[in-house]
Amino acid sequence: MSESEFPQAHRLSHIERLVDVIDLPIGRWDRDSRLVFCNEPYLGWAERPREELIGKTLREIYGDDAWTRAEPAFRQAFEGRTVNYERQLSHGHKSNRWARVQVFPDVAPDGRVEAVFTIAFDIHEDVIAREALEAARERLDRFTENIPYPLTYVDRGFVLRFVNKAYCEVTGQKAADLLGRHIGEARGAKRWAEHQPYFERALRGQTVQYTRLVDRMPNGPRWMRTSYVPDFDARRFVRGLYTVTIDVHELTMAQEKLRRSVERDSLTDVLSRRTMMDRIEAAMLEASEVPSALFFVDLDGFKEVNDRLGHREGDKVLINVAAALQQSVRAEDAVGRFGGDEFLVLAPVRDSHGAEALALHLLDGVREVTTPLGSSSLISASIGYALAPADAQHPMKLVQLADDAMYQAKRQGKNRVMHCGRGAPVSLA
Ligand SMILES: Nc1nc2c(ncn2[C@@H]2O[C@H](COP(=O)(O)OP(=O)(O)OP(=O)(O)O)[C@@H](O)[C@H]2O)c(=O)[nH]1
């Protein structure tokens, strides 16, 4: 060993002892990319005895593909740089693992790079997780971009940071003209005033929705619902918010239809029996302060109308009677169909005189309804009524008393008004 070689050999043995205690595979390669040294973990990774490795080139040990991946990194490391590359390899008993190989120069005291070191890390789990994350992000990007609902992201200053394709289509504005601008400035003061309260509530951490009829739609007005969803960071701080707008037109219309079908009688469009019962119940709760009267109205001889004119004309008469009753009362009074040719009217009244007057007014209203049979066969009704709370304090009882009074009016000759259980019937005849 020459004098100049001695310190170098000494330095190397130091390094070699040191790298043996590091639990990562480390190799030292000469300028011909021959392995001149490796530590114990390296042998474990390579699953081969030292004599099968030392003196062999990387290509000889691991094959052409491995060398193709390693060669640029080796070249740069021999130029003095530290380089990383990733590749799949098998080590120990594990196959097809992602590894990161770091290649760095072994610089002699005179500055020459005599060899390079390689150190490998198993980063398989990290790579798989990273790939999954990237794939998920890419899917999410594609999803948000292509979802057919307008989508935005605004930061805490209400500056648009993301808009998707559908948003640009609906607004007729280009992403480049929207991004980086305050949404109020980008979309106009009027719209901002309409939406601002929802944006502000979302920034306070609430998820809110706003449903409205949008009239500037290509195929006429449509019901749209925008959701404002806060974007929380790990400390539950709202750093911005998402908005997504969906078309709820069909749904809203169907709900409205359903609500109406439950609330209203499908033939006459006055309130349904069920709604009337709800109204009666509500009125009874307030009856001690605001007395109410319930009128049970049953048409006289309606069967004959049906028999002589047919069911369709009969239906028209029912519709006209309902309209006549509705016109005979104030807007806050309730008119409903109990079933068949029976109607209910619920109205707040001052006293029994007021109720009597209204009953006669209703009777008058029904008598105004004409049929194709001509004036000789005017429609009439028998009306019974009961007062809350004077006559009954329970909804069903009130209905029953009004019904009983109506039957009494029928028995007394029809076309008249009867207050439950009291006095002589009042007749218009
Ligand atoms: N057109 C039509 N008729 C109905 C409807 N629902 C019930 N009716 C008819 O209404 C009539 C009611 O019968 P009633 O009240 O017993 O007969 P009425 O001739 O009015 O007899 P009084 O009440 O005693 O005067 C029956 O002929 C039913 O078929 C409907 O939705 N449309």
CB 79 within 8 A of CB 31: no
Among 360, 344, 359, CA closest to 281: 344
Question: How confident is the model at residue 333, as a pLDDT?
Answer: 96
Q: Which residue has the tokens 């749209």?
A: 224
Nearest ligand 1 atom to the CA of 305 is: 19
Q: Which of 387, 361, 202 is nearest to 283 (CA)?
A: 387
Ligand 1 pocket: which of 266, 272, 300, 306 to mutate (most atoms within 8 A of CB):
306
Tens digits of per-residue pLDDT, 385-397? 999 999 998 999 9
The Cβ of residue 14 has, within 10 Å, a number of other Cβ atoms equal to 10
* Alpha-carbon span 44 to 25, nearest angstrom: 8
Phi, psi of 11, rounded to the nearest 5 degrees: -60, -45
- Ligand 1 close to Cβ of residue 314 (< 6 A): yes
CA of 283 to the centre of ligand 1 (A): 29
Question: Cα of 327 to ligand 1 centre, how many Å?
Answer: 22
CA distance 273 to 424: 29
Q: Is the CB of 403 under 6 A from ligand 1?
A: no
Measuring CA to CA, which residue among 289, 285, 345 is closest to residue 321? 345
What is the pLDDT, as a whole number, of residue 183?
95
The best mutation among 267, 296, 299, 302 to test binding of ligand 1, ranked by most ligand atoms within 8 Å of the C-beta, falls on 302
Q: Is the CB of 315 under 6 A from ligand 1?
A: yes
Does any ligand 1 atom lie closer than 6 A to the CB of residue 265?
no
Nearest CA, atom 4, ligand 1: 340
How many A from CA of 313 to the centre of ligand 1? 12
Compute the distance between CA of residue 426 and CA of residue 295 in angstroms, rounded to an integer: 14
Question: Would the CB of 259 count as within 6 Å of ligand 1?
Answer: no
Among 112, 149, 6, 120, which Cα is nearest to 58's? 120
HEC profile of the chain: CCCCHHHHHHHHHHHHHHHHHCCCCEEEEECCCEEEEECHHHHHHHCCCHHHCCCCEHHHHHCHHHHHHHHHHHHHHHCCCCEEEEEEEEECCEEEEEEEEEEEEEECCCCCEEEEEEEEEECHHHHHHHHHHHHHHHHHHHHHHHCCCCEEEEECCCEEEEECHHHHHHHCCCHHHHCCCEHHHHHCHHHHHHHHHHHHHHHCCCCEEEEEEECCCCCCCEEEEEEEEEEECCCCCEEEEEEEEEECHHHHHHHHHHHHHHHECCCCCCECHHHHHHHHHHHHHHCCCCCEEEEEEEECCHHHHHHHHCHHHHHHHHHHHHHHHHHHCCCCCEEEEEECCEEEEEEECCCHHHHHHHHHHHHHHHHCCCCCCCHHHCCCEEEEEEEECCCCCCHHHHHHHHHHHHHHHHHCCCCEEEECCCCCCEECC
Domains and CATH numbers, the chain: 5-128 (3.30.450.20), 147-251 (3.30.450.20), 264-427 (3.30.70.270)
What is the pLDDT at residue 3?
A: 43
What is the distance between the alpha carbons of residues 53 and 38, in angstroms, rounded to a whole number? 9
Nearest CA to ligand 1 atom 31: 340
Residue bearing the CA closest to ligand 1, atom 26: 303
Q: Is 318 in the pocket of ligand 1 (CB under 6 A)?
A: yes
Give the pLDDT score at 2: 45
- Listed as ranges, residues in the chain with pLDDT below 70 are 1-19, 21, 374-377, 421-429
Say if ligand 1 is within 6 A of residue 298 CB.
yes
Q: Give which of 339, 362, 220 is closest to 293, Cα–Cα.
A: 362
Residue 396's pLDDT is what? 93
Tell me the per-residue pLDDT of 255-265, one tens digit each, with 9 for 90 and over.
888 888 889 99
- Burial class of residue 90, CB neighbours in 10 A (0-12, 13-18, 19+): middle
Ligand 1 midpoint to CA 339 (Å): 9
Residue nearest to atom 7 of ligand 1 (CA): 340
Ligand 1 neighbour 187 (Cβ under 6 A): no
- 221 touches ligand 1 (CB under 6 Å): no
